[in-house]
Structure 1
């Protein structure tokens, strides 16, 4: 199996930002040392939810501090970026990282309308902005010169320089959850990542993606590569005992949710309501923590002693997961606590899956 590391580390106050940013760099370097194959950066603004905010600039720092690990975005919120500027930045990043960049793309947060307002936008046109931006970025990497006459952008571009190392450009991933999205991404040959998909649904969704790959006429080698790299995102917390892990992760999740709900109530405009289909027990403010936290523990988390987490990873492997993205930090979690959990996972869980088998729990 392939293990990625994902950061969603919050800074609780501005006076802690610099230290927290340095901590995330240290954590990413530790992920490379432990043998994680890729690190993934989130993008949020204004409240410290992703302490570095600008994931593209932060990725440049990681490119200079790492040598082997791939650097991904989960995800770039496309409406917040001018597509030509984004194409240039990603091309430069791919050069700085010597071809180690993966780009998850999305239409922007479904809950934090204040992020759109802060960029002078509203979310009702986010999907159209995203689709146009994707078209421009992909064509800008391929076409020189490029003339583009769109709804949001009218452009004349001589060429994108520097050219990306990966040709025609860094892979563009999609975050998916519905069966239709799995199938369509398969048809298009687009790499995918998904979060909080229950175990009982994974095998079915992976089969849907594979059916899309076959419908798209992709060759056997391409199908095998895309299936192997399809990524599932999970919270991961490893402690000395199962009880300790559950208690500590639950407390961290309560703190994380309190921050999340506070900033949305404080900063979202009064005319904004998230789409009902986007809400679940974790994201719905009407659901109490006593229900929300068990929901996340059950549907989106791997936690416990190393032995228990090995069993949980084996369960995912057995339903087809070959690429697991591990979020090891939650809210304003202490740096040393995060590193300790990462090391238990990297040293006592990951090696059991190096040859495709899992060691007996001990």
Structure 2
């Protein structure tokens, strides 16, 4: 059974419209809760308008208060930009507010936008080591009833017992992002599920096969491998309309405009400062509509989702509101997806109940 979630990633090009887009985002969260979407994923991006609400930790509190059932996850919190003790406290509070509905998606931080690190006064070269040290601190903070001390490269801490105590024991569910095959295999060897960025279906199938094989080679049994696959998610951009032609008419210009906006500020920083984090000689899969966008009628989208289901992954993170797309268009796409696509992948008992 393939599960579905929504990546709430709203673009705001005009600073004067930020409040409007944030309000639209909260309305989209309520709609997803009403329609039975399993998880609402929140992003973290700063300074460029690529994600209007900017801070997923703060925004998650609003979403949890406005919804009843849907889980709220991070895809991902940029851990290298946060103090780990503070972040652990905030997430423990969110876990209590949502009564266990929080999914803590963790990542080191962006691999593309150097200005996000500059704005926080953090050398981007330190992002990975800060993330790894911070993750260990957070796990200790959630699970050390007597408190703990930490002597590391970036933090020296003497932490009393963390309050509030997490609602979920021993701590909120944690999942890590892996944007490369090497990252996915690293998590496989630890026996952990992961969040996969946008890739072609061919790359997704190959990476997941390698992930399963690495986990088995590390000594995890078939049941554990199956659980990790079930808890892993892949990301796609999705537009559903009544016909293929209508979906492509809406989806392709929005997708292309979104990609242009996402690279504009980092290219300006490169011109001004000569700094670039990752040079791309060819457009990556995430920037190519034919690979990264699923746009079509319910029948077409369902067929593409069936291809993803065949890889064995547990769920798809669907981005519905792309770039300058208006909130109403995104809402119609979400509703059509949940009413005409998602039921085809429900368990037999659930399909029978729906009928």
Same fold (TM over 0.5): yes
- Aligned residue number for residue 315 of structure 1: 307
The verdict on how the C-alpha distance between 1:17 and 1:244 changes in structure 2, with shifts beyond 3 A counting, is same
- Aligned residue number for residue 245 of structure 1: 247
**Is the 8 Å Cα contact of residues 177 and 197 (structure 1) preserved in structure 2?**
no
Of 187, 211, 214, the match for 1:209: 211
- Aligned residue number for residue 163 of structure 2: 161
Distance in structure 2 (CA, Å) of the matches to 1:280 and 1:89:
39
The verdict on how the C-alpha distance between 1:225 and 1:355 changes in structure 2, with shifts beyond 3 A counting, is same
The verdict on how the C-alpha distance between 1:279 and 1:353 changes in structure 2, with shifts beyond 3 A counting, is farther
Distance in structure 2 (CA, Å) of the matches to 1:168 and 1:271:
46
1:97 corresponds to 2:89:
no
The verdict on how the C-alpha distance between 1:179 and 1:44 changes in structure 2, with shifts beyond 3 A counting, is closer
- Aligned residue number for residue 174 of structure 1: 176
The within-5 A match list for 1:1-362 is 1-143=2-144, 144-218=146-220, 220-267=222-269, 270-276=273-279, 280-282=282-284, 296-355=288-347
Distance in structure 1 (CA, Å) of the matches to 2:281 and 2:193:
25
**SS in structure 2 opposite 1:63?**
helix
Instruction: Give structure 2 stretches of 5+ with no counterpart.
Output: none
CA RMSD after TM alignment: 2.1
Cα displacement string for residues 128-174 of structure 1 (whole angstroms, at most 9, x for unaligned residues): 11111111111111223210011111000011111111222122222
Distance in structure 1 (CA, Å) of the matches to 2:28 and 2:129:
36
Cα displacement string for residues 32-74 of structure 1 (whole angstroms, at most 9, x for unaligned residues): 2112111100001112211111110100111111122111100
**Is the 8 Å Cα contact of residues 237 and 245 (structure 1) preserved in structure 2?**
yes
Cα displacement string for residues 339-362 of structure 1 (whole angstroms, at most 9, x for unaligned residues): 0111111111011111379x9xxx
TM-score where L is the length of structure 2: 0.92
Distance in structure 2 (CA, Å) of the matches to 1:312 and 1:228:
19
The verdict on how the C-alpha distance between 1:279 and 1:93 changes in structure 2, with shifts beyond 3 A counting, is farther
Instruction: Give structure 1 stretches of 5+ with no counterpart.
Output: 284-291
- Aligned residue number for residue 288 of structure 1: none
TM-score where L is the length of structure 1: 0.90
Matched positions, count:
347
**SS in structure 2 opposite 1:237?**
strand
- Aligned residue number for residue 287 of structure 1: none
Query: Per-residue deviation at 1:216?
Result: 4.3
Query: Per-residue deviation at 1:219?
Result: 5.2
